[in-house]
């Protein structure tokens, strides 16, 4: 799938999150998971998942009476695309602005800060 066509909406991303965690799920299972955090009708979830299938975001196993859906796009590829798009559109192409905004608005744990520091050190040594 071309990253140019990878444009999931916020609702589609919520469905993908469920599918990434479960690997495979029916519309009912996805709907029940989404219902824990937001109001949404079953038919809305069904329609969204049908649209996602048409867009190539999910694949559908139709071999049984209940259709099961699996993510067709990887979480990593989707994150990379969405972050790249966000950097370009919201931060004028500045990765620094994105990182400063993220760290300024989110209390990072010691482990997260260590992981960030390690990544910075690796990026510095790779650039030499």
Contact 56/5 with Cβ under 8 angstroms?
Answer: yes
Site of tokens 């990544």 = 119
Residue 81: partners with Cβ closer than 8 Å, 6 or more residues away: 3, 6
Site of tokens 């796009």 = 73
The structure's pTM equals 0.74
Residue 36 is given by DSSP the state T
Q: How do the pLDDT tens digits run along the chain, 128 residues long?
A: 444 456 789 999 999 999 999 999 999 999 999 999 999 899 999 999 999 999 999 999 999 889 999 999 999 999 998 898 889 999 999 988 888 888 887 788 889 889 988 988 988 888 76
Question: Which is nearest to 3 in space by CA: 88, 99, 116?
Answer: 88
């Amino acid at each position: 799938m071309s990253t140019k066509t990878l444009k999931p909406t916020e609702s589609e991303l919520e469905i993908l999150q469920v599918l990434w965690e479960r690997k495979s799920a029916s519309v009912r299972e996805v709907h029940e998971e989404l219902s824990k955090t937001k109001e949404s009708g079953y038919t809305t979830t069904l329609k969204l998942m049908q649209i996602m299938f048409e867009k190539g975001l999910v694949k559908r196993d139709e071999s049984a009476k209940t259709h099961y859906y699996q993510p067709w796009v990887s979480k990593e590829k989707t994150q990379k695309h969405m972050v790249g798009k966000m950097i370009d559109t919201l931060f004028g192409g500045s990765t620094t602005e994105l990182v400063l905004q993220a760290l300024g608005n989110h209390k990072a744990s010691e482990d997260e800060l260590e992981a960030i520091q390690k990544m910075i050190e690796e990026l510095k040594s790779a650039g030499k």
